[in-house]
Amino acid sequence: MADILKTIQQRRSMRVPFDPNRSVSKENLRQILEAARWAPTAHNMQNFEVLVVDDKEVLEKIGNIRSRVSEAFIRENYEQMAFSEEELLQKKVGILGTNFPPDWRDPAKLDKAVRESAPSPLNQRIGGSPTLLIVIYDSRKRAPASEGDVLGFISLGCVMENMWLAANSRGISVHILSVFSGDAVQKAVKQILKVPAPMKIAFAIRLGYPVSKQPGNLRVRRDMVMFTHHNQFGNKGLR
């Protein structure tokens, strides 16, 4: 149990560039995919496919796709920011604003940041990763009586976590790329990878080995007593 908790606690998004010349072995990929295979899914519908992309020419084609940061992301991201480590430690949720461009941290400049947000190639997000896992959602495999297939989306989260922990346990770094589910990017990626029309891209996973150490950004979580209720809502903690 201690080993499992240690792996969970050490899991993190690695946003630094990866070494494009250091491939992820097929054996490691099989282990990561085996973890996905055993992820719990609602009604055991197994509503996902995983497309492994490690061909350099295909990665280059995907990397040349241009995308723009959405207005919703910039504005909602601002609302979730803490503007100092002290504030983040007090809030215990959200993210540190210094990780983002200065214009995103100033409410007076948000309109300007939205207007001037220019399309950039996905290469900047892929960051040299030698392997991408494209997780595809099959909406036809829907759990019964699940409005909006919310249980299906929870299942995709279980798939993500299983693969993430399996990769990290083998010394492979992970970064989730939600940009792949955006309409324009998804359309272009599906065309390159010949993904059938009924299916949708849920997210992509960068796998690889960092070329540099990621800055030791402050990580926060709520204390257990802050989210645990015992027998009745409001009875905080385990009693």
Q: For 69-92, how does the pLDDT look when each residue is reduced to its tens digit (9 = 90+)?
A: 888 999 999 999 999 999 999 999
Q: Looking at the structure, do residues 157 and 207 belong to the same domain, yes or no?
A: yes
User: Which is it for the CA torsion 196, 53, 161, 71, positive or negative?
Assistant: negative
Compute the distance between CA of residue 206 and CA of residue 103 in angstroms, rounded to an integer: 27
Q: Is residue 57 part of a domain?
A: yes
The letter for the amino acid at 52 is V
Last residue of a domain, one of 117, 133, 153: 117
Residues 83-103 as b or e (16 or more Cβ within 10 Å = b):
eeeeebeeeeeebbbeeeeeb
Maximum Cα–Cα distance across the chain: 58
Has residue 182 been placed in a domain? yes
Mean pLDDT of the chain: 94
Q: Is 140 found in the same domain as 40?
A: yes
Residues 21 and 40 in one domain: yes
Under DSSP, is residue 188 helix (H, G, I), strand (E, B) or coil?
helix
93 with 187, same domain?
no
Residue 94 lies in a domain: yes
pLDDT at residue 46 in the model: 97
Is 24 within 8 Å of 131 (Cβ atoms)? yes
Name the domain boundary from 83, 101, 117: 117
Please tell me whether residues 154 and 193 are part of one structural domain.
Answer: yes
Q: Are residues 102 and 164 in the same domain?
A: no
Residue 125: closest CA among 200, 77, 68: 68
The answer to whether position 237 is within a domain reads no
Residue 227 lies in a domain: no
180 has a pLDDT exceeding 90:
yes
Instruction: Tell me the Cα Rg of the chain.
Output: 19
Residue 89: per-residue pLDDT: 94
Write the single-letter amino acid at 54.
D
Last residue of a domain, one of 117, 136, 157: 117
Contacts for 161 with CB less than 8 Å, ≥ 6 apart: 39
- The mean pLDDT value for 128-152 works out to 95
Query: Are 106 and 200 in the same domain?
Result: no
Pick from 66, 55, 15, 8: which is nearest to 208 by CA? 15
Q: Which domain holds residue 113?
A: 69-117
Whether residues 108 and 95 share a domain: the answer is yes
pLDDT of amino acid 204: 98
**SS3 at position 67:** strand
Same domain (yes/no): 154, 177? yes
CA 44 – CA 143 distance, rounded (Å) = 8
Do 54 and 75 reside in the same domain of the chain? Answer: no
Q: Does 232 map to a domain? A: no
Q: In this structure, are 21 and 62 located in the same domain? A: yes
Number of domains in the chain: 2
The pLDDT > 70 percentage for the chain reads: 99
| Residues whose CB is less than 8 angstroms from the CB of residue 47 and which lie 6 or more positions away in sequence, other chains included | 41, 137, 138, 139, 141, 142, 143, 152, 155, 156
Residue 54's closest CA among 21, 32, 31, 13? 21
Nearest to 20 by CA among 132, 130, 173, 126: 130
* 51 part of a folded domain: yes
Does 141 share its domain with 37? yes
**pLDDT interval class at 1 (50, 70, 90):** low
